[in-house]
Amino acid sequence: MLPSFILKNGRIFDGRSFLSPGFSIVVKPPHILGITTHPPSHLPSIDLEGKVVAPGYIDLQVNGGGGKYASLDPSEKSFRQILNTHLAHGTTSLLLTIISSATDTRKNAIETIRKIMAKEQSLLMGGHLEGPFLNPSKKGAHHEPWLQPATPSLLKEITGEGHEVIKAITVSPELFTSGNLDVLMETGWILSAGHSNASYETAMSFFDHGGRMATHLYNTMSPISGREPGIITAIFEHPSARAGVIADGHHVHPAAIRLAHRVMGDRLFLISDATFLGQKDGEVYFGPTTFRMKNGICYNQEGKLAGSSISMAQAVQYCIKEVGLPQAEALRMASFTPAAVMGQTHRIGRIGKGVLANMVVLNDDWMPETVYYEGEEVEA
């Protein structure tokens, strides 16, 4: 068992707001024992010297990292490389995303996630299926032959495979009947709208029916116009809709992020959509497709953006320094809100008594200086 310790003299962000000065965090791994102005004197302490300490980041859309890709090499070794890469950058809980893939790849990926979850449910919360039920007209970088219609037999097959492993699924609402949506609703998975050309009315109906998330807001979605408000307006308006946004300076303009934040408030959160975190510029061979990385931006052969190369920490930094969001809001979007989407604020996404001691200590440039995972310092 790891020894208890105290983090003192830090600027504590508890998941929703900054605490007033004078509080210390008492850690008894793997949990936080308490937040107090009078920490026990017999425990060793670490002086944070005024640095910000925040909950570990939570990413609901991770495709790859460290040169490994979840939908290309679904081995345990590959998945652990992805997990460790993101953990070193401050992401202490995540969903591994399986994009539209060959059937065997999807099945193998789900079983590998199941195997790792049996040991590490805090770091790997489960899987996120992004496909195959996506509109070909909004396929983005997905390989079109792997997109499939939502037939009753395929829905039964995939829901059976993903039992207790898949936590979220991205679908195009316009491809679903209410009966087929009911099949997905019965799984308890989070239904997310994405890669969609849905009308405003269809998207509102999807959220009324139990859909509660949207995947990479603005990207591969029907645009807003005066006569056709589209899916984005439905996401803005529907009180149950939460949305992840990619804040990397390439996928979404800063003004569009500010607008979404102004409209959605605490329903907006950050995702990395990272595929190529740690990847160098050059060609990346991704199954039947070749991607090209240039200056940290990845494009497919059609010139479409194909995932990102950022960490959640970089997304937080970008929102503070470039988008101009309040510090507390950028940090909340990477911690408390994604935890709330997952129904996990009792154990992650906060700094408070009884939650897991997953934390990041940030330098003056808003990048992680130290990462704690279940109370243990993570080696860079």
Residues with catalytic function: 273
In whole angstroms, how large is the CA radius of gyration of the chain? 20
* Helices and strands (DSSP H and E) totals, the chain: 10, 22
Asked if residues 59 and 94 have their Cβ atoms less than 8 Å apart, the reply is: yes
How many CA atoms lie less than 13 Å away from 33 in the CB half-sphere?
15
User: CA dist 41 to 38, 68, 375, Å?
Assistant: 8, 45, 19
Task: Please answer whether residues 76 and 115 qualify as being in contact, where contact means their C-beta atoms are separated by less than 8 angstroms.
Answer: yes
What interhelical angle do 230-237 and 200-208 show, nearest 10?
40
Half-sphere exposure at residue 365, Cβ-oriented, CA atoms within 13 angstroms: 4
| Cα–Cα distance for residue pair 232/237, rounded to 1 Å | 9
Q: Which two tokens stand for residue 39?
A: 């920490």
3-state secondary structure of 268: strand
Q: Is the CA virtual torsion 365, 369, 373, 379 positive or negative?
A: positive
Burial letters 120-157, b for 16+ CB under 10 A, else e = eebbbbbbbbbbbbbbeebbbbbbeebbeebeeeebee
- The single residue listed with the structure tokens 């017999």 is 42
Q: In the 8-state DSSP scheme, what is residue 164?
A: T
Q: Going by C-beta distance under 8 Å and a sequence separation of 6 or more, which residues neighbour residue 231? A: 173, 193, 196, 197, 198, 199, 200, 202, 203, 214, 221, 222
| Distance, CA of 1 to CA of 10 (rounded, Å) | 25
Transcribe 77-88 into DSSP letters. HHHHHHHHHHHH
